[in-house]
Amino acid sequence: MDWDDTKSILKALALLYELQTPEEQQAQTTVLDNSVGFNAIDAGFLSSVAYQMLKEGKGVSTRQFSIVKSKIQKYHAQIEEYDLDYVELPETAVLYESRDDFADEHAGLIYVDKDRLLFEPYIYPTTQVKAIGFRWAQDDSASWESPLTLSAFEQLREMFQNCIISDSVTTWLEEVDKPVQLSDEVYKSELLAFQREAVGFMVKAKRGLLGLAPGLGKTPISILAIKELGGRTLIICPLPLLYNWKREIKTWANEDAEIWHKGIGDDVELWVITNYETALRYLVKYDIKTITKDGK
């Protein structure tokens, strides 16, 4: 395929749109995981452009075309399975110059910059994003920004459903879905499959909340996740459980732990276990730092 040829790119867009099911075309989304057509992130925008070109007899703006071109290149394997010469376009499938039509159809552009989620608005007003934790960026991006989290992205999509999703967001979401590479110690342990998955979740989330029912292995999951992250660890638990935690750490991590009760201990072990009362009384004396292994 010639990626510099306008007609070829529009034909590729039409081809991918026709590979969507009728239900997906109507809803402008991707429902079936059948490895054909658009992915769930691109489906909204690409389906809308294809629909206006094929069904409404409208042209494609140059700005729309530039984004279509960048998005569909990831589908080259699908496209190359077909002969684009057999794909027919309506006579109205042409490019036209328009700076404002793109903004009229979409609320804005969502994209990722390092550890920030940004929303460049094409409509007014958009100050309602403050309610979900966004603030106006203090650089020249002319965008609202938020820390990069799935929660922020999902809330933004719910608030503005007709946004354009940048490829940077797609790349980030693919990275989020990628499973964590755990050590052999985790895989060779006696954990069940769902418990190993929970270890991966805790390692990836770093500040995750492990919400398993009693008896499902929160203690060994936590211990192995902590060992994967590395660094010193302070465990605060009820007084009767101090030695239980010490035994569990030895069992699952094969490491020694030091118990601090009614005072500060020798500060030599990587694992320190204490109870609530001791922690509250000597809190200012604890040297609590976020020291992790390999930058995790």
Angle subtended at Cα 74 by Cα 71 and Cα 75, rounded to the nearest 5 degrees: 100
What pLDDT score does 295 carry? 45
What span, in angstroms and rounded, lies between the C-alpha atoms of 12 and 21?
Answer: 16
What pLDDT score does 152 carry? 93
What pLDDT score does 291 carry? 42
What pLDDT score does 290 carry? 43
Cis peptide, bond prior to residue 125, ω within 30 of zero = yes
CATH of region 106-177: 3.40.1170
Domain boundaries, the chain: 6-102, 106-177, 184-285
| The two domains 106-177 and 184-285 share their CATH topology (first three levels equal) | no
What pLDDT score does 2 carry? 85
pTM, two decimals, is: 0.48
Q: Mean pLDDT, consecutive 10-residue segments, the chain of 296 residues?
A: 88 90 79 73 86 86 84 89 88 69 72 94 85 91 92 91 90 85 91 92 84 93 93 91 96 93 77 89 58 45
What pLDDT score does 31 carry? 62
User: CATH says 184-285 is which class?
Assistant: alpha beta
